[in-house]
Structure 1
Amino acid sequence: RLTVVKLSYNSFSSFAKSSQVPDETQIIGLGLNSNSFRGPFPNWICELSSLHILDLSDNRFSGLIPQCFGNSTITLQELFLRDNNFTGIHPDVFVNATNLRALDISYNNLEGKLVRSLINCRDLRFLNLKSNRINDEFPFWLGSLPSLNILLLQSNRFHGPLYHRHLSVGFQSLRVIDVSRNDLCGTFPDFYFSDWREMTTPNAEYDDTYMKDSVFDVAVYHSMKMVNKGVDTEYDKIRTDFIAIDFSGNRLRGSIPESIGMLRELHLLNLSGNEFTGHIPPSLANLTKLEALDVSRNHLSGQIPPGLGSLSFLSTMNFSHNYLQGPIPPGTQFQSQNCSSFVDNHKLYGLEDICGETLVPNPTPEESEDLSEAEEHVINWIAAAIA
């Protein structure tokens, strides 16, 4: 009996006009990805009542994902629709999708609001909606999904606050969240990250392998794109120990929450291109696994926390285009950065070794009086070295 059909990586462009599904067919896996299929969602797929994996990605399908597809989502566990031209999803499609673990519908033309029937997907672990035209408020209600590990909403039209006192329930299972390049705004309380459990403590069940689901003993890996160390990076597989936050390219304001220092498993933190004010939290020095930090293009002031220099894995930092002041902290972690990581902070000094030239003047006598005793010690040390 035929149970798996995989026609991936061919040049098929259409189906036979008499495409029908025999009553006895029990296809559990259908892979039509990476072809040239075009036109509306194939209605005959709605008749596949035993489907566990469906992959239509990398084609030219268009239009609305119809209501009848809800008949196939009852048993569905993995659904991949990325890189097509779908414009919408019928609101009732996921009402019975209680077994769905992964949904990737990135790089389409989805419009309007995010379908609320996703709240029924209690086993959902992976949700990728990147690069669509979804115009909605931030979906706080997704925080009630107990297994959601990866949430990718970047490059849409999500708007409004990212935190709401009466709606935010905390994403306790999140390990990767990317909401970059939207229109989100608002401020955060200091305790905002305190309930993000998966980013706070190591989990013994996650080792150095890759995130995957198992469907009838077949390993299904998930993929994504995310900016890492300033480069748009393709992850064909996602490591189980990869923890990341990208809030860049929004209108978030106020102070960066001190509770961010609780996320000790964090590898990547990107808060660039927002309207954050105040100081860079010294608690960031607690993030001993941090590899990349970007707080550029904000309105941050004060000094760069010297404790960041003790983070041995931190290879990329970007503090540019802020209002930071004082000396560049000593240490290899800072001295190995590019000059561009510090530009347009007119009261930063000590850049000679990094930039090869004096880009900003040393502080005036009046500014020096405002420096702490520790800062004066650093200045004296620099002056002695120059002498």
Structure 2
Amino acid sequence: MGYCSWFLLSCFLWSFLNPGTHQLQSSQTQVLLQLRKHLEYPNQLEFWNNHGMDLCYLSPSTQVNMTCQDNVVTELRMVGDKPAMVNSFVGFAITSQTLSGNFSMDSFVTTLARLTSLRVLSLVSLGIWGPLPDKIHRLSTLEYLDLSSNYLFGSIPPKISTMVKLQTLNLDDNFFNDTIPDWFDSLSNLTILSLRNNQLKGPFPSSIQRVASLTDLILSGNDISGKLPNLDRLSKLNMLDLSEKQFRF
């Protein structure tokens, strides 16, 4: 076999054995560029452009980290410079703290849902604001969801209860202000539940005592009260933070 033939065969075998090295699907690239537009072109995404660059090959940074496999995005992590810095939020854009009044959380999640192979999604301190729409459940492959330190308000969407692959749910430091949900036992793989520093109210959700996989439960900084159910069945629990609240035992 000639050198040229051997080289071509080697390249074929390498690409076959390393599917993660294939170029990102163009449709996935378009989704990422659309997300960049939704986020109003933050500085940390300045290297995302539409000039043929494969975004999967960009070096990770402390602000942006993306993992691709089999031509699709499987992990997307972003940290911005707009942490939630106000004590109250009434549902309107705040200059220099949130994204502009043109931002639509509904449209943003619709675009995100086109990344159909996502396992990890972390969008922290990006100034995203608005109610979190029920359609977040379309990201049905998610195992890790972190939307902390933003300006999300209203209810925690009930359809999150259908995201059965979730292992981590972190909604810390937002402005969710409805009754705390009581469907957490639908998430049988959940290990970390953190809802710290919101405005959730009502009784402690009894469904939590049936999530045997939980290792971390953090509900401090809300207005939760009442009788605390027996948590003996949570044998894997390593961290329980209910500080600042009054419970009856």
Band the TM-score falls in, shorter-chain normalisation: 0.5 to 0.7
Tell which deviates more after alignment, 289-298 or 305-314.
Answer: 305-314
Q: Does 1:187 align with 2:187?
A: no
Could you tell me how far apart the structure 2 residues matched to 1:107 and 1:156 are? 14
Question: TM-score normalized by structure 2?
Answer: 0.64
Report the CA distance between 1:153 and its aligned residue: 1.3
Give the structure, 1 or 2, with the largest relative contact order (CA under 8 Å, sep 6 or more). 2
Could you tell me how far apart the structure 1 residues matched to 2:63 and 2:141 are? 32
Equivalent residue runs for 1:207-356 within 5 Å = 243-332=143-232, 333=234, 338=239, 341-345=241-245, 347-350=246-249
Residues 289 and 87 (structure 1 numbering): CA distance in 2 closer, same or farther, change over 3 Å?
Answer: closer
Question: TM-score normalized by structure 1?
Answer: 0.43
Unpaired runs of at least 5, structure 1 = 2-27, 29-52, 54-74, 78-85, 111-123, 128-145, 200-242, 351-387
Could you tell me how far apart the structure 1 residues matched to 2:63 and 2:191 are? 33
8 A contact 2:154–2:177 mirrored in 1: yes
SS in 2 for 1:278: coil
SS in 2 for 1:153: strand
Could you tell me how far apart the structure 2 residues matched to 1:319 and 1:166 are? 27
Could you tell me how far apart the structure 1 residues matched to 2:220 and 2:62 are? 33
8 A contact 1:280–1:303 mirrored in 2: yes
The residue that corresponds to 2:141 in the other structure is 198
The residue that corresponds to 2:105 in the other structure is 163
Residues 272 and 334 (structure 1 numbering): CA distance in 2 closer, same or farther, change over 3 Å?
Answer: farther
Could you tell me how far apart the structure 2 residues matched to 1:93 and 1:193 are? 30
The residue that corresponds to 1:126 in the other structure is 68
Could you tell me how far apart the structure 2 residues matched to 1:331 and 1:320 are? 17
The residue that corresponds to 2:121 in the other structure is 177
The residue that corresponds to 1:141 in the other structure is none
Could you tell me how far apart the structure 1 residues matched to 2:60 and 2:237 are? 36
Residues 92 and 311 (structure 1 numbering): CA distance in 2 closer, same or farther, change over 3 Å?
Answer: closer
Residues 175 and 278 (structure 1 numbering): CA distance in 2 closer, same or farther, change over 3 Å?
Answer: same
Residues 91 and 338 (structure 1 numbering): CA distance in 2 closer, same or farther, change over 3 Å?
Answer: closer
The residue that corresponds to 1:107 in the other structure is 61
Tell which deviates more after alignment, 253-262 or 325-334.
Answer: 325-334
8 A contact 2:227–2:248 mirrored in 1: yes
Could you tell me how far apart the structure 2 residues matched to 1:108 and 1:196 are? 24
Q: Does 1:150 align with 2:75?
A: yes
Which residue identity is paired with 2:194? D
8 A contact 1:260–1:284 mirrored in 2: no
Runs of 4+ in 1 over 6 A off after TM superposition: none
Report the CA distance between 1:155 and its aligned residue: 3.2
Residues 335 and 163 (structure 1 numbering): CA distance in 2 closer, same or farther, change over 3 Å?
Answer: same
SS in 2 for 1:308: helix
Aligned length: 190
Could you tell me how far apart the structure 2 residues matched to 1:279 and 1:257 are? 11
When Rg is computed on C-alpha atoms for both structures, the one with the higher figure is: 1
Residues 322 and 284 (structure 1 numbering): CA distance in 2 closer, same or farther, change over 3 Å?
Answer: same
Could you tell me how far apart the structure 1 residues matched to 2:48 and 2:138 are? 33
Could you tell me how far apart the structure 2 residues matched to 1:248 and 1:109 are? 14
8 A contact 2:109–2:135 mirrored in 1: no
Residues 168 and 316 (structure 1 numbering): CA distance in 2 closer, same or farther, change over 3 Å?
Answer: same
Report the CA distance between 1:285 and its aligned residue: 1.5
Could you tell me how far apart the structure 2 residues matched to 1:90 and 1:273 are? 28
8 A contact 2:77–2:121 mirrored in 1: yes
Unpaired runs of at least 5, structure 2 = 4-10, 12-17, 25-43, 83-97
Which residue identity is paired with 2:197? R
Could you tell me how far apart the structure 2 residues matched to 1:76 and 1:173 are? 16
